[in-house]
């Protein structure tokens, strides 16, 4: 009997011990008890790419506990919509005297355009950056209220009101449900206190940087002030641990990793990581760099991981932290940070400019090129110097009579102060049969070039030949370099001029000295030449005088099939057919064929999403969009 009792008691103790083990230890150590994933953006400056939004939305759909944060500088007038919101004016066209605007509203009417895009991401917190304070306080108050109305907390623990208290929340805590109970993640926000821009004309580089402090800015003097980032971090981490008892603390800080005295003394992320105990991970910002993962050791011995997501939505930082629950306490067993690349480039095309009545195309093109933020290649696909333009012929007449003044010649090219085309395709109309035309007069073109106009330098066509030599009359192609943080992307643009008669390439459209030949015979030659010179993307841009019913012309298919290295073909139609997109599968991949309606004033933008794989750029996707310039 005693032995049975002993066995029973031993069994009970074993069961209790096993239950205790099950509660506090994972049976399979390869599977953590909890996993925290954070996606971070920073320095968007009003640019929230659709690809970035789509990616985060898909991640959130698969991970309901996903945390998303932004490190500040989300506000800037670096898109057309933001310019209009800040100024209350809309660009309606370009006259010979420059841009023309119309008033559409009072400045700062309604919520800022970037807010709509950011709300699609459903941020758990956004942190104030220095650019937010380059605006007047009432406007910033309105932006903060807009986030608040949509349940997005705005954070900055070291910014205070002169009247007392924090200007916005110092931190938030997010509760995550796990199989072992609730896990609390604290998000602490901090802002560089040198929010003012450095005076570039300052002769003394060691000028006291206090003049850049928030409290010394005209718009905020006597209203707000900012304290030191590190001392405030120590204060608020201690406060969070005492009051909220978070299991993890992630600091989102609008500050760079290392100070560059005297220019950026406020970049203190490295010092912050090594000076403050209790922080597990830091999202850095401000310097527009990207950091996959840098490691520091805090005073309490823990490893602090630092990541930074670059700028303008080109990169996205991710933080992955795995934890196990041991003896009723969460313990970190794994930390890792990385960045995802969203590099891209745009090829924007327009046609038939400048004419005397086509300012609408210019205003839309100016907006598109502005929004692309220097990651675009602009191409005019034909007839830039339209011989039917009365103004141009008038100037040419004055040139021949030797009465043309510099002021006169500047009129027709005034647009170039606002729009710079990387390439201009030589159009059918530009090789007018009459030899006495502005386009065929090389001395006139030289005159324009000598005056600083870059039109003649960039004019391209691979299949308009000089009759005497049989060689291309202009440069066949251009290779345009777009800089990214991963290196340069080289976009090759091959110009093609299609005959306006029938579907063939007869010599019916000629001048006294020029002729058009079938481009398909030489396309592969020039494409291989561009690739040998480092072109990562190859786009064929055609000038076509032919009407079309929207179908792919046989001539275009012949060009497409002539080379396996072509990524996209852009052409135009003189008919009223709507713009269209076709995907032509062929050996070597797929070619995106875009046709725009010249008569409807349609512009196209090909958005190339690219990846760098083993040192080479590869096109992941091409997203075409159309924009009408007609009122």
Q: What is the C-alpha to C-alpha distance for residues 591 and 488, in angstroms, rounded to an integer? A: 23
DSSP secondary structure letters along 444-490: HHHHHHHTT--HHHHEE-SSEEETTT-SBSSBSEEEEEEEETTEEEE
532: exposed, middle or buried (C-beta count within 10 Å: 0-12, 13-18, 19+)?
A: exposed
Residue 560 domain flag: yes
If asked whether residues 410 and 460 sit together in one domain, one would say yes
Q: What percent of the chain has pLDDT over 90?
A: 40
Q: What is the C-alpha to C-alpha distance for residues 126 and 190, in angstroms, rounded to an integer? A: 10
If asked whether residues 489 and 376 sit together in one domain, one would say yes
What region does 408 belong to: left with phi over 0, alpha with psi -120 to 50, or beta?
alpha
Q: What is the C-alpha to C-alpha distance for residues 359 and 373, in angstroms, rounded to an integer? A: 22
**CA 358 to chain CA centroid, nearest Å:** 28
If asked whether residues 259 and 269 sit together in one domain, one would say yes
Backbone φ and ψ of 27, nearest 5°: -65, -45
> Does residue 268 sit in helix, strand or coil?
coil
Residue 262 domain flag: yes
Residue 476 domain flag: yes
Nearest by Cα to 371 from 26, 81, 36: 81
User: What are the start-end ranges of the E strands in 461-567?
Assistant: 464-466, 477-484, 487-498, 514-516, 537-544
Neighbours of 389 (CB within 10 A): 22
If asked whether residues 198 and 295 sit together in one domain, one would say yes
Q: Which domain holds residue 84?
A: 77-110
Q: What is the C-alpha to C-alpha distance for residues 454 and 430, in angstroms, rounded to an integer? A: 17
Task: Determine contact, residues 70/126, Cβ cutoff 8 Å.
Answer: yes
Domain ends where: 295, 321, 341? 341
**Angle between the N-to-C axes of helices 113-121 and 50-62, in degrees from 0 to 180, rounded to the nearest 10:** 30
Nearest by Cα to 313 from 64, 112, 609: 609
Domain ends where: 341, 366, 393? 341
Neighbours of 235 (CB within 10 A): 15
Nearest by Cα to 147 from 116, 170, 172, 171: 116
Residue 424 domain flag: yes
Q: Which residues contact 226 (CB under 8 A, 6 or more apart)?
A: 158, 159, 160, 191, 192, 193, 195, 213, 214, 215
Cα angle 364, 483, 612 (rounded to 5 degrees) comes to: 110
If asked whether residues 195 and 216 sit together in one domain, one would say yes
Task: Determine contact, residues 582/328, Cβ cutoff 8 Å.
Answer: no
Backbone φ and ψ of 485, nearest 5°: -70, -20
Neighbours of 477 (CB within 10 A): 25
If asked whether residues 106 and 117 sit together in one domain, one would say no
Beta bridge partners of 589: 586
If asked whether residues 393 and 485 sit together in one domain, one would say yes
- Give 420's Cβ-side CA count (13 Å radius): 11
Q: In terms of pTM, does the model score above 0.75? A: yes
Domain ends where: 66, 85, 110? 110
DSSP secondary structure letters along 340-397: EE--EEEEEEE-S-S-TT-HHHHHHHHHHHHHTTT-EEEEE-S-SS-TT-HHHHHHHH
Which DSSP category does 245 fall into?
A: -
If asked whether residues 55 and 94 sit together in one domain, one would say no
Q: What is the C-alpha to C-alpha distance for residues 91 and 367, in angstroms, rounded to an integer? A: 8
Six token digits for residue 500? 């306006």
Q: What pLDDT digit, counting tens, does each position of 255-271 carry? A: 999 876 666 678 999 99
DSSP secondary structure letters along 146-200: HHHHTT--EE-TTEEETTSSBSSBSEEEEEEEETTEEEEEEEEEEE-SB-SPP-T
If asked whether residues 321 and 360 sit together in one domain, one would say no
If asked whether residues 489 and 549 sit together in one domain, one would say yes
| Domain containing residue 149: CATH number | 3.60.21.10
Q: So what's the pLDDT on residue 590? A: 87
Residue 366 domain flag: yes
Beta bridge partners of 331: 324
Task: Determine contact, residues 478/492, Cβ cutoff 8 Å.
Answer: yes
Q: List % helix, strand, coil for the chain (3-state, nearest 5).
A: 25, 35, 40
If asked whether residues 45 and 175 sit together in one domain, one would say yes
Cα angle 176, 156, 283 (rounded to 5 degrees) comes to: 60
Instruction: Name the strand (E) or helix (H) holding 14.
Output: helix 2-24
Please say whether the dihedral angle defined by the alpha carbons of residues 71, 76, 82 and 88, taken in this order, is positive or negative: positive
Give me the long-range contacts of 409-415 (CB less than 8 A, separation at least 24).
409/447, 409/448, 409/451, 410/451, 411/96, 412/96, 412/354, 413/448, 413/453, 413/455, 414/94, 414/96, 414/97, 414/98, 415/94, 415/353, 415/354, 415/362
452: exposed, middle or buried (C-beta count within 10 Å: 0-12, 13-18, 19+)?
A: exposed
Q: What is the C-alpha to C-alpha distance for residues 120 and 118, in angstroms, rounded to an integer? A: 5
Low-confidence ranges of the chain (pLDDT < 50): 21, 23-29, 205-206, 354-357, 386-388, 415-417, 433-434, 454-457, 501-509, 547-550
Task: Determine contact, residues 539/492, Cβ cutoff 8 Å.
Answer: yes
If asked whether residues 47 and 91 sit together in one domain, one would say no
Beta bridge partners of 582: 593
Tokens 């690739």: give the residue. Answer: 531
Residue 59 domain flag: yes
Q: What is the C-alpha to C-alpha distance for residues 598 and 264, in angstroms, rounded to an integer? A: 49
Task: Determine contact, residues 458/424, Cβ cutoff 8 Å.
Answer: yes
Task: Determine contact, residues 383/573, Cβ cutoff 8 Å.
Answer: no
Residue 62 domain flag: yes
Please say whether the dihedral angle defined by the alpha carbons of residues 104, 109, 112 and 115, taken in this order, is positive or negative: negative
Residue 552 domain flag: yes
**CA 212 to chain CA centroid, nearest Å:** 28
Give the pairing of strands 464-466 and 514-516.
Answer: antiparallel
Which DSSP category does 414 fall into?
A: G
**How many independent structural domains does the chain possess?**
3
């Amino acid at each position: 009997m005693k032995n049975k009792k002993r066995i029973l008691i031993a069994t009970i103790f074993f069961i209790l011990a096993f239950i205790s083990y099950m509660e506090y230890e994972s049976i399979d150590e390869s599977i953590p008890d909890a996993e925290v994933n954070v996606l971070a953006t920073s320095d968007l400056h009003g640019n929230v790419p659709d690809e970035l939004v789509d990616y985060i939305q898909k991640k959130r759909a698969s991970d309901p506990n996903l945390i998303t944060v932004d490190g500040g500088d989300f506000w800037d007038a670096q898109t057309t919509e933001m310019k209009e919101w800040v100024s209350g004016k809309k660009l309606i066209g370009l006259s010979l005297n420059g841009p023309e605007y119309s008033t559409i509203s009072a400045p700062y009417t309604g919520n800022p355009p970037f807010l709509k895009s950011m709300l699609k991401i459903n941020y758990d917190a956004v942190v104030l950056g220095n650019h937010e304070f380059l605006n007047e306080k009432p406007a910033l108050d309105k932006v903060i209220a807009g986030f608040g109305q949509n349940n997005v907390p705005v954070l900055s623990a070291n910014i205070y009101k002169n009247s007392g208290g924090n200007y916005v929340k110092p931190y938030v805590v997010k509760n995550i449900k796990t199989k072992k109970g609730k896990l609390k993640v604290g998000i602490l926000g901090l802002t560089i206190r040198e929010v003012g821009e450095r005076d570039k004309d300052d002769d003394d580089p060691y000028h006291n940087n206090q003049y850049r402090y928030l409290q010394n800015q005209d718009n905020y003097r006597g209203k707000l002030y900012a304290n030191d980032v590190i001392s405030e971090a120590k204060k608020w981490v201690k406060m969070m641990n005492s009051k909220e008892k978070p299991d993890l603390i992630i600091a989102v800080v609008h500050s760079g990793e290392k100070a560059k005295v005297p220019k950026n003394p406020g970049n203190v992320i490295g010092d912050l990581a090594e000076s403050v105990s209790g922080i597990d991970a830091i999202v850095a910002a401000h310097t527009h760099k990207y950091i996959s993962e840098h490691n520091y050791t805090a005073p309490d011995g823990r490893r602090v991981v630092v990541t930074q997501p670059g700028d303008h939505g080109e990169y996205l930082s991710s933080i992955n932290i795995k934890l196990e629950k041991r003896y009723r306490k969460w313990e970190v067993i794994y930390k890792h940070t990385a960045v995802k690349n969203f590099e891209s480039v745009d090829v924007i095309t327009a046609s038939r400019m400048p004419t005397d009545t086509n300012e609408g195309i210019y205003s839309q093109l100016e907006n598109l090129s502005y929004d692309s933020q220097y990651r675009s290649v602009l191409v005019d696909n034909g007839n830039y110097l339209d011989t039917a333009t009365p103004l141009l012929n008038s100037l040419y007449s004055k040139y021949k009579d030797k009465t043309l003044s510099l002021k006169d010649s500047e009129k027709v090219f005034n647009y170039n102060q606002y729009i710079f085309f990387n390439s201009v395709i030589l159009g059918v109309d530009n090789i007018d049969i009459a030899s006495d035309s502005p386009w065929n007069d090389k001395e006139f073109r030289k005159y324009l070039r000598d005056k600083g106009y870059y039109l003649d330098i960039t004019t391209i066509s691979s299949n308009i030949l000089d009759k005497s030599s049989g060689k291309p009359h202009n440069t066949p192609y251009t290779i345009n370099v777009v800089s990214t943080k991963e290196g340069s992307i080289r976009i090759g643009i091959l110009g093609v001029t299609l005959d306006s008669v029938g579907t063939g390439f007869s010599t019916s459209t000629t001048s006294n000295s020029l002729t058009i030949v079938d481009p398909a015979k030489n396309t592969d030659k020039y494409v291989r030449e561009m690739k040998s010179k480092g072109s990562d993307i190859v786009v064929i841009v055609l000038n076509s005088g032919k009407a079309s019913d929207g179908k792919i012309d046989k001539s275009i298919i012949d060009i497409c099939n002539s080379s396996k290295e072509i990524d996209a073909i852009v052409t135009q139609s003189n008919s009223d057919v709507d713009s269209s997109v076709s995907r032509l599968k062929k050996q070597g991949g797929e070619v995106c064929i875009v046709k725009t309606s010249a008569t409807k004033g349609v512009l196209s933008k090909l958005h190339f999403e690219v990846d760098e794989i083993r040192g080479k750029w590869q096109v992941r996707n091409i997203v075409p969009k159309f924009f009408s310039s007609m009122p």
